[in-house]
């Protein structure tokens, strides 16, 4: 059970949405909203339906319908205003009432909403406010929206002179998050007709980035994720203090690994100390981000200990119940790319997306080709699911590392193939022999250099890679194409792939575009770096 889930039955899924996560994806190539992420995560959630929404920065209770009966019943209750919703909010402005009902119209003005006279083409908006307490310079209020218009509570609070703390769009004082939380939800169950009520207290003082992570990870299954994702999550004061919009922090089991172009500043070090103490970790390391990573290796490129206990030469982390070996002393890369977590999980559970099983007949006996295998993270998950995996990489050292990952998970490496050499050479050999696979994984580095000096560039050569791979994908098989090349826009990436498909006359039967996972949030100023596409081919 994911921590954000409050209730699930045959008809309903109720979640406690953390702040900073949209209800649904705001654009085709932005990060997934909580609805999209859940819907594509489990087959039993494939038919989830949105019956109401919360703003991205508002936290709290959301109910999704799982069946047509639930969708109809809940929609009718929301339409008739029979669903009772209660929010908690705080403001620093003085409040001179005990109870207040606000009735206005609302209209859009750019990216904001403003009050307008009721009628004259505007939908009515009604919110009831009640003061709960005053303490620490804050006034706490209950808000009950009788109607459910976009930004309704925020606009009404601002219009009556008490903008919500953190709501700078509507005149509120700056804060790490919007201090608005949907804490109660009550309605009639769509099947039984009995009233059901849910309550989820809000946490306004904790770091919103941490709240997001703690909502989506089961600590018994996963102890490695991105804790802080650069400019997408750094508060203005944090960013300005050390002038580091690129500062990112990953957790790898008992250690934190920070990365930025320069050494950590005072504010960053204080943050790392707090997180190490909070999670009971052993220490923190730092990796210097480099524009040019080709040729980076050895101690000079490896993460450096900032404080705490030095990490052993190799230690183990868990991700979705799978063990991986991590090494901080092997150069620029430490053994696992965390932004591919959700894609690795798709192999584990044989489920790409709603209505898209990876192997319709099951993974047992399926043949999988993992190119640019690195330390074989994808390979381990495919093998755990029951497939037979062929892993190809230029580096024998990394393939040996992959074998150790197999052994860590009770898998016999000898039952699978590990092939050293250039991916293009091996694809030509497979095609010449007529060997085909049920799944071909393409996840090349942005740049790589073969022993003969040939340089692969994802931006320039991805189409050529797809063309080389298509002959070895079985009819009805799946091609996974992925890149983290920031310069390669999603539209161009997809164009390269579909051009290659057209040259070979391979028709797409199913497709799913998967952005980077929620712990790598996408913001307008920092577009998604990871682009992945799953394709079932005729």
CA distance 399 to 496: 29
Q: What is the largest CA-CA distance in the chain?
A: 81
Helix (H, G, I), strand (E, B) or coil at 227: strand
Sort 300 into a burial class: Cβ within 10 Å, 0-12 / 13-18 / 19+. Answer: exposed
Check residue 44 and report its DSSP letter.
G
Alpha helices in 203-316 (DSSP H): 208-216, 236-242, 266-279, 298-301
* Residues paired with residue 145 on neighbouring β-strands, in sequence order: 127
- Tokens 């210097």 locate to 288
Find out whether 105 and 119 touch, Cβ atoms under 8 Å. Answer: yes
Residue 55 annotated to the active site: yes
From residue 320, alpha-carbon distances to 18, 497, 519 in Å are 21, 30, 15
CA distance 497 to 105: 48
Say which residues have a Cβ less than 8 Å from residue 1's Cβ, sequence separation at least 6.
218
CA distance 230 to 259: 9
Check residue 311 and report its DSSP letter.
P
E strand residue ranges, 28-75? 49-50, 59-65
CA distance 303 to 335: 12
Q: Catalytic pick from 9, 36, 55, 207?
A: 55
CA distance 39 to 16: 16
Kindly list the catalytic residues: 55
């Amino acid at each position: 059970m994911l921590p954000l889930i409050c209730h699930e039955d045959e008809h309903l899924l109720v979640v406690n949405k953390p702040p900073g996560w949209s209800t649904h994806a705001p654009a085709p190539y932005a990060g997934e909203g909580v609805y999209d992420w859940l819907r594509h995560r489990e087959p039993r959630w494939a038919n989830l339906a949105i019956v109401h929404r919360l703003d991205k920065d508002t936290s709290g209770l959301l109910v999704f319908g799982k069946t047509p009966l639930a969708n109809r019943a809940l929609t009718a209750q929301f339409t008739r205003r029979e669903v009772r919703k209660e929010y908690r909010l705080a403001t620093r402005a003085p409040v001179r009432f005990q109870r207040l009902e606000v009735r206005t119209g609302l209209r859009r003005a750019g990216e904001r909403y403003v009050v307008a006279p009721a009628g004259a083409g505007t939908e009515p908006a009604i919110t009831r406010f009640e003061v709960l307490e005053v303490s620490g310079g804050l006034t706490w209020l209950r808000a009950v929206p009788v109607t459910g218009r976009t930004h309704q509570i925020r606009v009404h609070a601002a219009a009556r002179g008490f903008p919500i703390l953190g709501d700078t769009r509507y005149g509120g004082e700056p804060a790490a998050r919007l201090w608005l939380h949907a804490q109660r939800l009550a309605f009639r169950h769509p099947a039984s007709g009995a009233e059901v009520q849910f309550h989820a207290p809000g946490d306004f003082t904790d770091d919103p980035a941490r709240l997001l992570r703690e909502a989506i990870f089961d600590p018994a299954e996963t102890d490695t994720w991105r804790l802080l994702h650069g400019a997408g999550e750094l508060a203005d004061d944090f960013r300005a203090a050390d002038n580091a919009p690129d500062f990112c922090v990953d957790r790898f089991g008992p250690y934190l690994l920070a990365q930025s172009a320069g050494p950590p500043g005072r504010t960053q070090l204080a943050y790392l100390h707090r997180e190490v103490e909070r999670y009971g970790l052993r220490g923190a390391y730092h990796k210097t981000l480099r524009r040019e990573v080709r040729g980076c290796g050895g101690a000079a490129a490896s993460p450096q200990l900032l404080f705490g206990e030095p990490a052993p030469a190799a230690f183990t982390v868990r991700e979705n119940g799978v063990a991986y070996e991590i090494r901080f002393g092997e150069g620029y890369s430490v053994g696992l790319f965390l932004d591919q977590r959700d894609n690795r999980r798709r192999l584990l559970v044989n489920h790409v997306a709603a209505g898209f099983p990876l192997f319709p007949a099951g993974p047992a006996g399926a043949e999988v080709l993992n190119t640019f295998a690195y330390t074989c993270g994808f390979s381990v998950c495919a093998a755990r699911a029951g497939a037979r995996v062929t892993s190809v990489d230029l580096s024998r050292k990394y393939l040996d590392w992959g074998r150790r990952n197999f052994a860590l998970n009770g898998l016999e490496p000898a039952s699978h193939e590990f092939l050293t050499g250039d991916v293009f050479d091996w694809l030509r050999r497979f095609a010449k022999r007529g060997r085909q696979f049920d799944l071909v994984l393409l996840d090349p580095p942005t740049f790589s250099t073969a022993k003969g000096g040939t340089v692969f560039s994802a931006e320039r050569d991805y189409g050529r890679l797809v063309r080389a791979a298509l002959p070895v994908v079985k009819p009805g098989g799946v091609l996974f194409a992925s890149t983290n090349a920031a310069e390669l826009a999603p539209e161009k990436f997809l164009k390269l792939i579909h051009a290659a498909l057209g040259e070979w006359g391979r028709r797409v039967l199913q497709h799913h575009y998967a952005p980077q996972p929620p712990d790598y949030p996408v913001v307008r100023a920092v577009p998604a770096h990871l682009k992945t596409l799953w394709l079932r081919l005729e």
